[in-house]
Structure 1
Amino acid sequence: MAEQENSSAFFDKPENIQKLLRVFYVICALLVIVDFVVHRHIYHDWENIPAFYAIYGFIGCVVLVLIAKEMRKFLMRGEDYYDE
């Protein structure tokens, strides 16, 4: 039991986080490269832009975060909400 308490978890080590991030970056780069090779059945002309889906996904995530930050202003309750 004492052995488990002293051992650190995988995500507690910064070098493991760096390795994991590198793997994710490589996967993202490979998906963008594959986008140039794989034939897509497009419905709109703007889907023909290189890396369109990567750009679309990134912009979508940024917009979601910005909307959530604005919603927080009127949805957030005070710290002492349950103490009242």
Structure 2
Amino acid sequence: MNNEQEKPDFFDKPDNIKKILRVFYAICILLVVADFIVHRHIYHSWENIPAFYAIYGFVGCVLLVLLAKVMRKLLMREEDYYDK
């Protein structure tokens, strides 16, 4: 057995997590700003809504999580399902 203390990983340090979150939020803000700058070829009128794709993606993720919760209730097996 190894009696040495394990070296903490990158994600074990709270400062590193804060840095990653700051970068993530900065990228999100830049993408929303780019939505106003980059010309898009609009096919439907609702695509003219500011930050439409960001809102669409967020709503899509929320709906997937809610659908997964419902599906879990339908598909969940007992803990000892394979032991029977």
Normalization by structure 1: what TM-score?
A: 0.91
CA RMSD in angstroms, aligned pairs only:
1.4
For residue 17 of structure 2, what is the amino acid of its counterpart?
I
1:48 aligns with 2:48: yes
**What is the percent sequence identity of the aligned residues?**
72
User: Mean alpha-carbon deviation: is it higher for 35-44 or for 6-15?
Assistant: 6-15
For residue 79 of structure 2, what is the amino acid of its counterpart?
E
1:8 aligns with 2:5: no
Distance change (3 Å), C-alpha of 1:82 and 1:41: same
Between the two proteins, the alignment pairs up a number of residues equal to 82
Deviation at 1:6, TM superposition (A): 2.3
Deviation at 1:5, TM superposition (A): 5.4
- In structure 1, how many angstroms separate the alpha carbons of the residues matched to 2:5 and 2:28? 36
Structure 1 unaligned residues grouped into runs of 5+: none
1:66 paired residue number: 66
Could you list the runs of 4 or more consecutive aligned residues of structure 1 that deviate by over 6 angstroms after TM superposition? Answer: none
1:28 paired residue number: 28
